[in-house]
Amino acid sequence: MSYSMSNESENFDKPIFGIRPVIEAINAGKEIDRVFIQNGLRTELFQELMSLLKQDNIPYKFVPIVKLNNITRKNHQGVIAYASPIAFSNIEHIIPGLFEEGIEPLILILDKITDVRNFGAILRTAESTGVNAVVFPTQGAALLNSGTVKSSAGAIYNISLCRSDNLKDTIDFLKNSGLNIAAATEKGSELYHKSDLTGPLALIMGSEGDGVSGEYLKRSDIKLMIPMLGITASLNVSVAAGVLLYEVVRQRSIS
């Protein structure tokens, strides 16, 4: 299926530059995905901006001025921001609501997925398999832009996305809420199709380079392995997510 991006989604690739314009965008309620700040920037307005970023839990990163100049040659004043194509949700609000509706939650947690195409493809599969929410870290996740929208075939607009300042705390919250935590890892001891993936579940997918972080693996109730029969060491993360999520669908359909 093809997906044609609207002019609105294409505009998310256009940066907001300048300290005051970024402050005004935040105060106006515009959803901000990421802010890049010049190393060493110190002004009165900068302090106001930092207060807003911390107050609203907006991801930011200090970068060399050359990075900002590569984005735009206009007077960026050391600050460039990108708007988000969607409004973010709160996982701590979603879980109680699902249980109240009699729905067994299926949550997808993405650890260090930084490629926008993989991120978008995973969102497409997640929406198609009935995932209730996708959780990812505030810092260190893929930029949500028109590339993500296109790769998701528009699914990004139809699924709840939740940023987490601390994935460990989020995983603990999900465990305490009654969800089993399953992590995909080549070091897993359980073949994915022989594991019980019914019931309330959170599935953690890690990056192809590093996999799921050790601190999250320790918190996992199930460590899932997808058998590899060839020479290649691992699957693309979006493919692996598809395999596991459709196994959840299969098991739920027959349980």
Same domain, 40 and 115: no
Residue 158: CA count within 13 A, CB half-sphere: 13
With respect to residue 184, please indicate whether it lies within any of the assigned structural domains.
yes
Helix (H) or strand (E) holding 124, with range, is helix 116-128
Same domain, 148 and 95: yes
Structural domain span for residue 147: 91-254
244: tokens are 């596991």
CB 156 within 8 A of CB 85: yes
Number of domains in the chain: 2
Same domain, 65 and 168: no
Q: How far is it, in rounded angstroms, from Cα 125 to Cα 120?
A: 9
With respect to residue 12, please indicate whether it lies within any of the assigned structural domains.
yes
Same domain, 160 and 79: no
The pTM assigned to this predicted structure is 0.86
Domain final position from 60, 83, 106? 83
Per-residue pLDDT of the chain in tens (255 residues, 90 and over written 9): 333 344 444 456 678 989 999 999 999 988 899 899 999 988 888 999 999 999 988 999 999 999 999 988 888 999 999 988 888 999 999 999 999 999 999 999 999 899 999 999 999 999 999 999 999 998 888 888 888 889 999 899 999 999 999 999 999 999 999 999 999 998 777 899 999 999 999 999 998 788 899 999 999 999 999 988 888 877 899 999 999 999 999 999 987
With respect to residue 2, please indicate whether it lies within any of the assigned structural domains.
no
What's the CATH number where 35 sits?
3.30.1330.30
Within 123-226, strands assigned E span 133-137, 160-164, 180-184, 190-191, 201-206, 222-225
238: tokens are 């979006």
157: tokens are 């607009």
243: tokens are 């395999």
Helix (H, G, I), strand (E, B) or coil at 10: helix
